[in-house]
Amino acid sequence: MTTTTEKAVNPQADKAGTPLLEVRDLHVEFRTRDGVAKAVNGVNYSVSAGETLAVLGESGSGKSVTAQAIMGILDSPPGFVTQGEINFKGRDLLKLSEKERRKIRGAKMAMIFQDALSSLNPVLTVGYQLGEMFRVHQGMSRRDAKAKAIELMDRVRIPAARERVNDYPHQFSGGMRQRIMIAMALALEPDLIIADEPTTALDVTVQAQVMDLLAELQREFHMGLILITHDLGVVADVADKIAVMYAGRIVETAPVRELYKQPAHPYTRGLLDSIPRLDQKGEELYAIKGLPPNLLRIPSGCAFNPRCPMAQDVCRTDIPVLHPVTDSRGSACHFWKETLDG
């Protein structure tokens, strides 16, 4: 882990404001027996080195599918990228061969999933699985790879790493397993980590510890981090900016504090009002009415209109584009001004 400072001093990709990753007008559809499910419908987002982007939205909004398209692990068929660009360190990943993409995966970008138990191999020790990263990608000897594994386990603060390196995944608690997943992702010092609901399966105190660890490592390694979550509460302290997704589109994007203080989209407002607050005990929690749309039949106009308390006629006919609210904010709502003022 000696290149950390080099990276911090010389971040290749964020010089001159060029983001590390820039997703442009990405479209993904699933061609199923029941029809075509439009899962991602023109997503734009970017993340720079040393920056954390939280991607927020209810289940089914296309957060994971977007991540899978970036990583090149989309379930295809039935999933297909039909349009767009995924620019990573100046190259459009969609134009690369599978072989070239495989080289980038793991080494340059890594992913952390919600369920560590099903991502780890139950019959191999964690030391072996961590070491494999170095044996396969860097041709390291078994012995050196094991030493690296111990170093990584220390790094993610797994107590007694030297003794535990020969343990199997089921011998660790959920929180510790998630630390092992983080260690695996970090192993080759990637430029970008995508964490997909990394703490959803953990209880609340462990959630906070794992999130803090991830944030700390992200800063130290000066990585770009995309943090996918359905829980706005989880990312408040660690994200720089937020992209809110609904029905496969970004409906609002803003620096995290501004979004909390003053949302510019009724959907974001609904999500914020759904967070339990300690000072409002006993009051009924506002939850957004209804369900996210069936992606085989997305409503015309604004996809949120059947659930939106502010919907007008225009919302049922015209798709709102992402209007610039300020230099660093955007809202895809015909009535963003009114929302911001309300």
Ligand X SMILES: Nc1ncnc2c1ncn2[C@@H]1O[C@H](COP(=O)(O)OP(=O)(O)O)[C@@H](O)[C@H]1O
| Residues engaged in binding ligand SF4 (CB under 6 A) | 265-266, 302, 304-305, 308, 310-311, 315, 320, 333-335
Residues 28-47 that bind ligand X (CB under 6 A): 30, 32, 37, 39
Kindly give, in sequence order, each residue whose CB lies less than 8 Å from that of residue 285, ignoring residues fewer than 6 positions away.
Answer: 273, 274, 276
DSSP H stretches of helix in the chain: 4-9, 63-71, 98-104, 116-119, 126-138, 142-155, 161-164, 174-186, 204-221, 232-235, 256-261, 266-273, 313-317, 336-341
CB of 13 to ligand X, least distance (A): 25
CB of 75 to ligand X, least distance (A): 4
Binding partner of residue 39 among ligand X, ligand SF4, Mg ion, none, CB cut-off 5 to 8 Å per kind? ligand X
Closer to ligand SF4 by CB, 30 or 267: give it. Answer: 267
Closer to ligand X by CB, 56 or 130: give it. Answer: 56
Of positions 35, 78, 90, 324, contacts ligand X by CB under 6 A: 78
Give the single-character DSSP code of 239. -
Residues 281-310 that bind ligand X (CB under 6 A): 295
Distance of CA 207 to the CA centre of its chain: 16
The three-state DSSP-derived secondary structure of 245-274 is EECCEEEEEEEHHHHHHCCCCHHHHHHHHC
73 binds ligand X (CB under 6 A): no
CB 175 within 8 A of CB 164: no
CB of 255 to ligand SF4, least distance (A): 21
Closer to ligand X by CB, 59 or 280: give it. Answer: 59
Distance CA 149, CA 122 (A): 17
64 binds Mg ion (CB under 5 A): yes
Binding segment for ligand X (CB under 6 A), chosen from 73-81, 87-95, 97-105, 318-326, is: 73-81
CB 126 within 8 A of CB 63: no
Of positions 50, 62, 106, 301, contacts ligand X by CB under 6 A: 62
Of positions 59, 166, 173, 317, contacts ligand X by CB under 6 A: 59
Residue nearest to Mg ion (CB): 64
Which residue's entry shows tokens 């964020």?
14
Binding partner of residue 315 among Mg ion, ligand SF4, ligand X, none, CB cut-off 5 to 8 Å per kind? ligand SF4
66 binds Mg ion (CB under 5 A): no
Binding partner of residue 224 among Mg ion, ligand SF4, ligand X, none, CB cut-off 5 to 8 Å per kind? none
Distance CA 212, CA 236 (A): 12
Which DSSP string corresponds to 206-221? HHHHHHHHHHHHHHHH
How many residues line the site for ligand X (CB under 6 A)?
16
Q: Which of 186, 200, 208, 198 is nearest to 112 (CA)?
A: 198
> How buried is 142 (Cβ within 10 angstroms: 0-12 exposed, 13-18 middle, 19+ buried)?
exposed
Binding site for Mg ion (CB under 5 A): 64
Binding site for ligand X (CB under 6 A): 30, 32, 37, 39, 57, 59-65, 75, 78-79, 295
